[in-house]
Amino acid sequence: MSKKNIIRKRLIDTFFRLVRIKSPSGDEREIVEHVREILSGLGLEVEVDDSGKKYGSNSGNLTALLKGDDPDIMPIFMGAHLDTVTLNGEVIPYMYDGIIRNKNSKCILGGDDKVAVAAIIEVLRYIIENNIKTGDIYIIFTISEEIGVVGAKYVDLDKVGAEYGFVFDSHGDIGTIYNQAPYQNSIDAEFTGKAAHAGIEPEKGINSIKAAAIAISNIRFGRLDHETTANIGKINGGVARNIVPENTKIMLEARSLKESKLEKVTEKMIGSLKRASDDTGCKLKYKLIREYDGFNIGPEEIPLKIALNAIKEIGIDPMVESSGGGSDINVFNSKGKRAVNLSSGMEDVHTNSEYVKASQLEKLAQLILEISISKKKE
């Protein structure tokens, strides 16, 4: 069977229809219903959960099952997310010289992660139309991934009868496998001082911005080592130039491939916050959030073996790398599944320059098809 038989025009048309549907995190109902209709029309068992009600989205995660007919092919799951980062305009996809962009240059394309959704849909169609034998294939299309992999945390993985899986949610040409990703902690902190008139009686004030500045100046940010990073992403404080600021909020994060390193960095961050509070007389409130756990899929594990072989089968030399970012797959692995993340052809994601090559979209579909028919590796 030739993987070149993937229907390229239909694949691109599907992708165009998906990106035209605006689906920023929290507003995914339209795209969930659109994809539900497609998969139900193909005869898959489809469910949409009520996860959005629990945190403010207007929809839920979509899961589906294509029943397999070959007992020698192991069940697998495949995942992608349906939401995008915030859009500030219409998506008008067009292709020129084999590259797909948004004609509206002031807005993202939204290919993250609709390239994978489109490719998975095309492969399911192709399998059904050509009576290709597979094992059970479970589909997990999540919502609200872009705001902290929130949707994935509510997926009922007990209903996913496959131990091994593949998520297609990373940038770059097809062929890279991410077998390792970091743990992440977030810290939301607030210093509370005392307001006063800055010109008449500043002595009566306690400056919360000063407390935040002292804390920040004593924290190392950026790449701390080859496995660990730290960042302050947002600071907000004060109400006017002539008022000693009473409240200042800061948002920090730390990531590491090693949990022990993450805990040490987090402890130092919190220590700096506390010392700044003590030194200035500001009160400190903070919330520590474990956004997700890290994972490491070893070379002897089945998902990595399948991905390596599938990439080779479509004529590409595979690469195995670790990632500095988190995705749905972190959550799936933390809940007992074993899965890898794969590059899906996206470029310049989250920017108005975002694009995807049609050739990469087609290769992604070929790869997904190859994974779908892979025999169990002993």
Is the domain of 212 the same as that of 120?
no
- Checking if the pLDDT of 159 tops 50, the result is yes
* pLDDT tens per residue, range 134-152: 999 999 999 999 999 999 9
The last residue of one of the domains, among 235, 258, 292, is 292
- Checking if the pLDDT of 267 tops 80, the result is yes
Is the domain of 138 the same as that of 159?
yes
> What is the SS3 assignment for 59?
coil
What pLDDT shows up at residue 154? Answer: 97
Please check whether residue 322 lies inside any domain of the structure. yes
Q: At 341, which amino acid appears? A: N
Please check whether residue 255 lies inside any domain of the structure. yes
Is the domain of 128 the same as that of 61?
yes
Is the domain of 81 the same as that of 69?
yes
Please check whether residue 320 lies inside any domain of the structure. yes
Is the domain of 210 the same as that of 148?
no
pLDDT band per the 50, 70, 90 thresholds, residue 169 = very high
Is the domain of 173 the same as that of 203?
no
What pLDDT shows up at residue 375? Answer: 74
* pLDDT tens per residue, range 197-255: 999 999 999 999 999 999 999 999 999 999 999 999 999 999 999 999 999 999 999 99
Beta-bridge mates of residue 171: 346
Please check whether residue 377 lies inside any domain of the structure. no
Q: Are 257 and 209 in contact (CB under 8 A)?
A: no
Please check whether residue 378 lies inside any domain of the structure. no
- Checking if the pLDDT of 3 tops 60, the result is no
Query: Could you tell me which of 135, 148, 90, 119 has the C-alpha nearest to residue 6?
Result: 119
* pLDDT tens per residue, range 322-350: 999 999 999 999 999 999 999 999 999 99
What's CA 294's distance to the chain center, in Å? Answer: 13
What pLDDT shows up at residue 6? Answer: 80
CATH number at residue 236: 3.30.70.360
**How far is residue 49's CA from residue 47's CA, in Å, rounded to a whole number?**
6
Please check whether residue 311 lies inside any domain of the structure. yes
Is the domain of 161 the same as that of 111?
yes
Q: Which two tokens stand for residue 28?
A: 């995914």
Is 145 annotated as catalytic? yes
Number of domains in the chain: 2
Phi, psi of 60 (to 5 degrees): -145, 175
What pLDDT shows up at residue 1? Answer: 39
The last residue of one of the domains, among 241, 273, 292, is 292
Dihedral sign, CA of 355, 357, 362, 363?
negative
* pLDDT tens per residue, range 71-99: 889 999 999 999 999 998 999 999 999 99
- Checking if the pLDDT of 2 tops 50, the result is no
- How confident is the model over 174-184, as a mean pLDDT? 97
- Checking if the pLDDT of 311 tops 50, the result is yes
* pLDDT tens per residue, range 13-63: 999 999 999 999 999 999 999 999 999 999 999 999 999 999 999 999 999
The last residue of one of the domains, among 230, 260, 292, is 292
Q: Which two tokens stand for residue 39?
A: 């998969």
Is the domain of 240 the same as that of 304?
no
Q: What pTM does this model have?
A: 0.92
Please check whether residue 317 lies inside any domain of the structure. yes
Candidates 28, 83, 169, 246; catalytic one: 83
CATH number at residue 65: 3.40.630.10
Is the domain of 222 the same as that of 327?
no
Is the domain of 35 the same as that of 140?
yes
Please check whether residue 38 lies inside any domain of the structure. yes
Is 112 annotated as catalytic? no
* pLDDT tens per residue, range 268-278: 999 999 999 99
pLDDT band per the 50, 70, 90 thresholds, residue 376 = low
DSSP 126: H
- Checking if the pLDDT of 180 tops 80, the result is yes
**Residue 177: which domain range?**
3-181+294-372
> What is the SS3 assignment for 230?
strand
Is the domain of 348 the same as that of 310?
yes
Candidates 122, 145, 169, 328; catalytic one: 145
Is the domain of 281 the same as that of 302?
no
Average pLDDT, the chain: 96
